Amino acid sequence: MRFSVIPFFLLVVPMAEIAAFVVIGGQIGVWATLGMVLLTAIIGSFLLRWQGIGLFNRINAEMRANRIPGRDLVHGVMILIAGVLLLTPGFVTDSLGFLLFVPAVRDSVWRLVKGRVVVQTMSAGFGSGARPSGMDPRGGVRPDGVVDLDEDEFERHNERDSPWSEDSERLTKPDKGPDRQGGGSANGL
């Protein structure tokens, strides 16, 4: 029988939170304990907003540079998890949440988890003609077309002779017939 981590954490984390509340509440008092829990939730929401905005800007910069923001997307998911952990009342979840706000910790977590992650891609579009191998005629990747890459295994080549390149001479421009004077669409917009 395979050991599952999620049910284990669903049992252990609440028990650890209760124990932490009892121990810390006994040391500093009930009101101070509740104040600390509220303060960590407020600090966590500010950290989530501050790091989230910075991460969003980095992802946009990567996308504008035509690069895949793989590391930043993973960090974004971890920052979201950190925010949820900080908004959950408790000292154990707050500690885990604050740890996930540290970039070096997020990198370490990613190194531990990335071997279990499988990336599947899907694309869709309109048009006819040749498709790259692995593409389904209806659009998207065939069911057997799973792509499993590490970030450092991916390369992008800028080929000018690609049929999808804007500069390609192989692309045919639509004829401007008498009923297609100004372009537009079939519904007259």
Give the per-residue pLDDT at 73: 81
Whether the pTM exceeds 0.75: the reply is no
Q: For residue 23, name the pLDDT band (cuts at 50, 70, 90).
A: very high
- Tell me the C-alpha distance between 26 and 33, whole Å: 9
Looking at residue 53, its pLDDT comes to 85
In a domain, 152, yes or no: no
Query: Is the residue at 54 inside a domain?
Result: yes
Q: What pLDDT score does 67 carry?
A: 79
Q: In the structure encoding, which two tokens stand for residue 14, read together?
A: 């609440």
Q: CB under 8 Å, gap of 24 or more: what pairs does 21-28 form? A: 21/90, 21/91, 24/91
Is 138 domain-assigned? no
Residue 137 is given by DSSP the state T
Q: What is the pLDDT of residues 130-174, one digit of tens each?
A: 555 555 555 444 455 566 666 776 676 666 665 665 654 544 555
Quick one: CA torsion of 175, 179, 182, 183, rounded to 10 degrees?
A: -60
The DSSP symbol for 141 reads: B
Q: How many domains does the chain have?
A: 1
Q: CA nearest 75: which of 90, 88, 56? A: 56
Q: Please give the full DSSP string across 9-55, using - where no structure is assigned.
A: HHHHHHHHHHHHHHHHHHHH-HHHHHHHHHHHHHHHHHHHHHHHHHH
Q: Is residue 79 part of a domain?
A: yes
In a domain, 187, yes or no: no
User: Does residue 21 belong to any structural domain of this protein?
Assistant: yes
Query: Containing domain of residue 92, as a range?
Result: 5-113
The count of residues in the chain is: 189
Does residue 128 belong to any structural domain of this protein? no
Express each pLDDT in 80-139 by its tens digit.
889 888 888 889 999 999 999 888 998 898 888 877 776 666 656 565 555 555 555 554
In a domain, 157, yes or no: no
